[in-house]
Amino acid sequence: MSTAENKLSLVQMIVESEDKAFISKVLEYARSLKKEKTTHWEEELPEYVAEELRLSIEEADNGTDPGIPHEEMLKKFRKKYPHLNL
């Protein structure tokens, strides 16, 4: 069954139902799933990785580590991985 068919079937079940408890549970479940999806990707990283990212961003922002220019990195990666068509 396609996603569109599943959505239509779900909507149809809800519209046809007169059971308030069922409708409330479906709504509560849908909201809980939506909350799970709205977590920021950073929250899913291990703490040590997130800390390294924060430090790197801070260094780039205050100029302590100027980093490597984007075009230079692209040149290196294009040479190393020509099949990626970067």
One-character DSSP codes across 9-73: HHHHHHHH---HHHHHHHHHHHHHHHHHHTS-GGGGS-HHHHHHHHHHHHHHHHTS-----HHHH
Q: What pLDDT sits at residue 40?
A: 73
Per-residue confidence at 15, pLDDT binned at 50, 70, 90?
very high
The answer to whether residue 20 scores a pLDDT higher than 70 is yes
Q: Which pLDDT score, from 0 to 100, does residue 81 have?
A: 93
Alpha-carbon Rg for the chain, nearest whole angstrom, is 24
Measured CA to CA, the distance from residue 55 to residue 49 in angstroms comes to 10
Lowest model confidence (mean pLDDT) among 4-13, 30-39, 65-74: 30-39
Confidence check: pLDDT of 79 > 90:
yes
- For the cut 90, the answer to whether the pLDDT of residue 60 exceeds it is no
Q: Report if pTM > 0.85.
A: no
